Amino acid sequence: MKVKPSESLKIDAFSMRIGDVQDVELDRLHALSLSVGWPHRAEDWQFLREVGQGFVALDEIGRVLGSAMWFPHGASFATIGMVITSPRLQTLGAAQWLMHRVFDKIPGRSQRLNATRAARRLYLSLDFQPEKTIYQCQGIARVPTTRSLAEVSGDIRTLDASNIPAAIALDAAGFGVERTALIEKLFAHSSGYGLFDGKKLTAFALCRPFGRGHVVGPVVAESDADAVALVRPHVADHSGSFLRVDTHMNNGEFAAFLSHAGMPVFDTVLTMSLGKRLPEFSAGGSARPKTYALASQTLG
């Protein structure tokens, strides 16, 4: 008698091994982020590999089924990002496993990350504490017809490499820790506008290719009006194409400007931290200047 094959087949346990994110083909990393609907291009992964370190989870034939990266800044702080597990592997403990491997590499460092809704439970179970909401604003850019009510004092000029040290100092004031290597690298990939008081840089906004178009960030400024004045020329440069800004601001002139510039809130993520919080960054902190836009959700 011929046995009819079953309509279903249960495939369970398979083992994974850990690998270095630097050692796998870019296309495989790209396929992983595509599998969870993230917009990163292969070039965006390459940029992250150049500024950070990370692990991948590999199956028996070398397919990348998970990732987790970290980005150390200074001696006692790191951000974590690109925590992904392939849909077929989710809820089986793979992300926990990858996160513990990362923890082993950065003992004693305070950590910050931006958690998607899908990942909040994971990070809460690892003792991360919620800090602030991030608003992911994006869309087809258009220059708003309304002008800012507040005057900006100073000149807006394009940035060049000579402005890097001043930008590093401004970024550190807004972010809470100096990110020298990252800001240098971002300058190499970005166009930038700065607000100058004479020769002194008082605020800046970078913009670079990312995902579906371009991302504006970091933006560091002392006031909403200054931040708007610096993002506006980037909007003009990319008018009619896809532009994105990740910001903690959900009201005030800056948030209103983004919406008028064709970038309404698309989604939110939650900044969470583990260990000592950076005072400049904590909600209600009075540090000036402020970070108006992140470099990216992954980088903070």
Residues within window 185-224 making contact with ligand COA, judged by CB under 6 A: none
| Contact status: 95 vs ligand COA (CB under 6 A) | yes
Torsion of CA 35, 40, 44, 49, to 10 degrees: -40
- Min dist CB 248 to ligand COA, Å, is 16
Sole binder of ligand COA in the list 51, 57, 115, 205 (CB under 6 A): 115
Quote helix, strand, coil % in the chain, to nearest 5.
30, 35, 35
Sole binder of ligand COA in the list 62, 93, 264, 279 (CB under 6 A): 93
DSSP 190: -
Number of residues that bind ligand COA (CB under 6 A): 19
User: What's phi and psi for 105, nearest 5 deg?
Assistant: -85, -20
Name which of 232, 239, 176 is nearest 205 in CA terms: 232
Instruction: Give CA–CA dist 261/155, Å, rounded.
Output: 22
Sign of the dihedral through C-alpha 172, 176, 178, 182: negative
Do 293 and 245 touch, CB atoms closer than 8 A?
Answer: yes
> Between vectors from CA 104 to CA 101 and to CA 108, what angle results, nearest 5°?
140
Sole binder of ligand COA in the list 116, 190, 223, 291 (CB under 6 A): 116
Do 127 and 228 touch, CB atoms closer than 8 A?
Answer: no
Residues within window 18-47 making contact with ligand COA, judged by CB under 6 A: 36
- If you compute the radius of gyration of the chain from its CA atoms, what whole number of angstroms results? 21
Sole binder of ligand COA in the list 29, 69, 94, 225 (CB under 6 A): 94
Instruction: Give CA–CA dist 217/254, Å, rounded.
Output: 13
- The total of other beta-carbon atoms located within 10 Å of residue 63's CB is 15
| Contact status: 16 vs ligand COA (CB under 6 A) | no
| Contact status: 122 vs ligand COA (CB under 6 A) | yes
Window contacting ligand COA (CB under 6 A); options: 50-58, 78-86, 182-190, 207-215: 78-86
Task: Tell me which H or E stretch contains 115.
Answer: strand 110-115
- Min dist CB 3 to ligand COA, Å, is 36
- Min dist CB 194 to ligand COA, Å, is 31
Closest to ligand COA by CB, 130 or 233: 130
| Contact status: 118 vs ligand COA (CB under 6 A) | yes
Sole binder of ligand COA in the list 17, 88, 100, 121 (CB under 6 A): 121
Window contacting ligand COA (CB under 6 A); options: 116-124, 143-151, 188-196, 207-215: 116-124
Closest to ligand COA by CB, 46 or 125: 125
| Contact status: 129 vs ligand COA (CB under 6 A) | no
Do 162 and 211 touch, CB atoms closer than 8 A?
Answer: no
- Min dist CB 286 to ligand COA, Å, is 28
Closest to ligand COA by CB, 56 or 201: 56
Closest to ligand COA by CB, 57 or 220: 57
- Residues near ligand COA (CB under 6 A) are 36, 83-85, 89-96, 115-116, 118-119, 121-122, 125
